[in-house]
Chains A and B, each alone.
Chain A
Amino acid sequence: MVDSLNLVFSFLYQFGDAFAFLVLSACGLAVIFGMMGVINLAHGEFIMCGAYVSTRAAHAGVPMPLAILLGAACAGIAGMIVELLVIRRLYQRPLDTIVATWGISMIVTQGMLILLGPSMQGVGTPFGSFVVGGYSYSVYRIILMLSAVATLAVLWLMFTRTRFGLLSRATIQVPHVAEALGVNTNLVYSVTFGLGAALAGLAGGLYAPTMTLVPTMGASFMVEAFVTVVVGGADIFLGTAPAALILAVIKAGLTSWQGQLAGQIGLLIAVIIVIRILPRGISGKILRERG
């Protein structure tokens, strides 16, 4: 009885861990895609930016939570600059934005390698671990799970309860009408892109203590982020969150059965099957049934 409870806890922990990773790595990508129809291939580089800045700050003595927020802020500012310089000119051509952001990704990855060298010293994972039924679990992973849920909650409040949320929802629904009613749509796009980049930076800051900091670290988030967005579709709350729930079950199951890579391959196969059945993702399906 106790054994099976331990097993259940172990699976829940794995599931929560997978869920947190999927939500945190995907929500920045999903915000930008859902609002602007742009897939940001430099997403991984904003994650890397957040991780590097927060680690630097932590080394300089800034307390951990503040350092992470600083990382997110820096990534957000970087995102707004990128939007201003490149993305803004490409709104009419969504396919070209993918290509352009890929170019940015190459520049940043290689540029960081030249500027800061092949790796950077990380901060160790804080808070130690606790033991349940003979297995030890990391406390920090629990914090990551809570952060993922908190991030979703804050985003939900932001999009449903604030003025920015109202303006941005108006802008995605019918951009021209929003513009005619006096919404500065350019500003909304710019802020949205910055928000997406900041969310990527947040993911980077949160995961920085758990991984090695290399300029190509962004790529290790990409598959999960892509898969979640493809399965979820364009809406963050109706799409990304439920997609992360479903995919986390698949990933946790396969990972505990066959290892990390099997989890990833399983995700990919799941996504290829899902696009055959639900081409517009979960949120597309829900929205069509509702409308």
Chain B
Amino acid sequence: MDNASPLRRTLALIQGPQTLGRGRRFWAGFAVVLALACAYPMFADSYDVGNNVYFFNWLFMALGLSLIWGYGGSLSFGQTAFFGVAAYCYGVLTINLGDAYGLTLFSLVLAVACSALFAAVLGYFMFYGRINGVFLGIVSLSVTLVLERFMAQTAGPEWAIGAARLNGFNGMGGMPSLTIPWPGGPIVLYPDLPLYYLTLALLVVIYLGLRILVNSRFGNVLVAIRENPLRAEMLGYDIRRYQLMAFVIGSALAGLSGVLYTSWGNYITPASMGMTAAALPIVWVAVGGRGDLTTTLVGTLLVLIVFQMLTIHGSQYALVVMGALLVVTVLVAPRGIVMALVEGAMRLTRRKEAR
């Protein structure tokens, strides 16, 4: 291992102590799931494909929360704030810059950078103020709620940045979708095949990248801090810096969700940051199993699908069910329901092998 190239050493971190799933069986399963996801549009109509892109959009935010909360142990309730900041930034930028010359992609990068910068400033005050878990949660939630209220009152014509009207509670619309400049005419990424594959590719890259990150030295230190902050500090790690970095990366992923969502629906409202919206990422990640990227991914996808089915069939009760799911998870399977199932299955197979 030692004389392997740095690239190979980095890639070897794709499986390790901080992530579930290793060995040939897991990656074979991963390949099958990926192949199914790639083949899916052939069997589904374009509405379902677009709807799936909608699900995928949220997964980035969930993965980010898994990094902050599950791996870092910092309770952040502010994911939707960064989602909103990036979404509004993308809207303002693209409405002003237009969609030619790949400027939407430039706006995407800039909007995600804005949310990361916002996270860095807020995180600096929180982590370097050394506030503990409970306060971290309520400060980040307060920021989110105030941001929502701020955006909700921007109805008047004086609230415009360039050509972009913020439109208060009704939300901002009319921003162009992501557009890739192409020799044979630009490809506009409407919620259809190209966007599906782009989002899927992005998701795979980010998922694998995060796996490498959490198995690297950084991830190990982060987990050490979660397990025992004092011990990590005594071992000479600046825990504030590690927590801040995890917070910024996780929040930037929420920002990426925000941009993709805005581009997907050409629409963003302040309600996407409110109390209810802010609770949903917590539900996804808690139910899935925040301590692992894969269970977070699976859990989030499952909860999203169930939530949408409930909204269609029993519209009003969907949120009640989500709340109940959260309470039950905390009481019965505090490490997450998907996580509990995986651990149960692993224990069963191990017992069989032992016999």
B142–A102 CB distance below 8 A: no
Specify the chain A residue showing the minimal Cβ separation from B122.
A272
Q: List B residues 139-178 near A (Cβ within 8 Å).
A: 139, 141-143, 145-146, 149-150, 153
Check if B279 is an interface residue, CB within 8 A of chain A: yes
B322–A106 CB distance below 8 A: yes
Check if A58 is an interface residue, CB within 8 A of chain B: no
Specify the chain B residue showing the minimal Cβ separation from A39.
B134
Check if A265 is an interface residue, CB within 8 A of chain B: yes
A107–B320 CB distance below 8 A: yes
Interface SS of B by simple majority: helix
B275–A90 CB distance below 8 A: no
B331–A100 CB distance below 8 A: yes
Q: How far is the CA of A217 from the CA of B150 in the complex (A)?
A: 17
B142–A223 CB distance below 8 A: yes
Specify the chain B residue showing the minimal Cβ separation from A274.
B129
Q: How far is the CA of A94 from the CA of B256 in the complex (A)?
A: 31
B275–A98 CB distance below 8 A: no
22 contacts across the A-B interface (CB closer than 8 A):
A33-B134, A95-B75, A102-B279, A103-B283, A110-B323, A111-B320, A222-B275, A226-B142, A229-B138, A261-B150, A261-B153, A264-B149, A265-B146, A265-B150, A271-B142, A272-B122, A272-B139, A275-B126, A275-B129, A275-B135, A276-B129, A279-B129
Check if A55 is an interface residue, CB within 8 A of chain B: no
Residues of chain A lying within 8 A (CB to CB) of residue B326: 99-100, 102-103, 106
Check if B131 is an interface residue, CB within 8 A of chain A: yes
Check if A64 is an interface residue, CB within 8 A of chain B: no
Check if A77 is an interface residue, CB within 8 A of chain B: no
A110–B320 CB distance below 8 A: yes
- Closest CB of chain A to B353's CB: distance in Å? 33
- 18 more A-B contacts (CB under 8 A) besides A216-B275, A271-B139? A39-B138, A93-B334, A100-B326, A102-B326, A103-B327, A104-B323, A105-B275, A106-B276, A107-B323, A111-B320, A114-B316, A114-B317, A222-B145, A223-B145, A230-B139, A264-B149, A279-B129, A279-B131
Q: A-facing mask of B30-59, CB < 8 A → 1, else 0?
A: 000000000000000000000000000000
A interface, how many residues as a size bin?
35 or more
Q: A-facing mask of B96-137, CB < 8 A → 1, else 0?
A: 000000000000000000000000001001101111011101
Specify the chain B residue showing the minimal Cβ separation from A224.
B142
- Closest CB of chain B to A77's CB: distance in Å? 19
B interface, how many residues as a size bin?
35 or more
Residues of chain B lying within 8 A (CB to CB) of residue A116: none
Q: How far is the CA of A95 from the CA of B133 in the complex (A)?
A: 7
Residues of chain B lying within 8 A (CB to CB) of residue A93: 334
Check if B324 is an interface residue, CB within 8 A of chain A: yes
Specify the chain A residue showing the minimal Cβ separation from B322.
A106
- Closest CB of chain B to A206's CB: distance in Å? 22
B149–A94 CB distance below 8 A: no
B145–A276 CB distance below 8 A: no
Q: How far is the CA of A27 from the CA of B122 in the complex (A)?
A: 26
B323–A264 CB distance below 8 A: no
Specify the chain B residue showing the minimal Cβ separation from A101.
B327
Check if B12 is an interface residue, CB within 8 A of chain A: no
Q: B-facing mask of A110-138, CB < 8 A → 1, else 0?
A: 11011000000000000000000000000
Check if B286 is an interface residue, CB within 8 A of chain A: yes
A219–B145 CB distance below 8 A: yes
Instruction: Tell me the total A-B contact number using a CB cutoff of 8 A.
Output: 128
Q: How far is the CA of A110 from the CA of B142 in the complex (A)?
A: 21
Residues of A at the B interface (CB closer than 8 Å) are: 33, 37, 39, 41, 86, 89-90, 93-96, 98-100, 102-111, 113-114, 216, 219, 222-223, 226-227, 229-230, 261, 264-265, 268, 271-273, 275-277, 279
A106–B150 CB distance below 8 A: no
Specify the chain B residue showing the minimal Cβ separation from A276.
B129
Q: How far is the CA of A100 from the CA of B276 in the complex (A)?
A: 14
B330–A219 CB distance below 8 A: no
- Closest CB of chain B to A278's CB: distance in Å? 8
Q: How far is the CA of A102 from the CA of B131 in the complex (A)?
A: 21
- Closest CB of chain A to B296's CB: distance in Å? 15
A268–B146 CB distance below 8 A: yes
Q: List B residues 77-102 near A (Cβ within 8 Å).
A: none
A223–B125 CB distance below 8 A: no
Q: How far is the CA of A77 from the CA of B122 in the complex (A)?
A: 38
- Closest CB of chain A to B65's CB: distance in Å? 12
Q: Which of A103, A264, A275 contacts B139 (CB 8 A)?
A: A275
B334–A261 CB distance below 8 A: no
Q: List B residues 309-344 near A (Cβ within 8 Å).
A: 316-317, 319-320, 322-327, 330-331, 334
Specify the chain B residue showing the minimal Cβ separation from A108.
B323
Q: Which of A98, A271, A272 contacts B75 (CB 8 A)?
A: A98
Residues of chain B lying within 8 A (CB to CB) of residue A277: 129
- Closest CB of chain A to B148's CB: distance in Å? 9
B286–A98 CB distance below 8 A: no
Contact status of A230 and B135, CB under 8 A, knowing A110-B316, A273-B125: yes
- Closest CB of chain A to B242's CB: distance in Å? 18
Q: How far is the CA of A274 from the CA of B143 in the complex (A)?
A: 14
Check if B282 is an interface residue, CB within 8 A of chain A: yes
Contact status of A98 and B334, CB under 8 A, knowing A105-B323, A114-B320: no
B125–A39 CB distance below 8 A: no
Residues of chain A lying within 8 A (CB to CB) of residue B331: 86, 89-90, 100
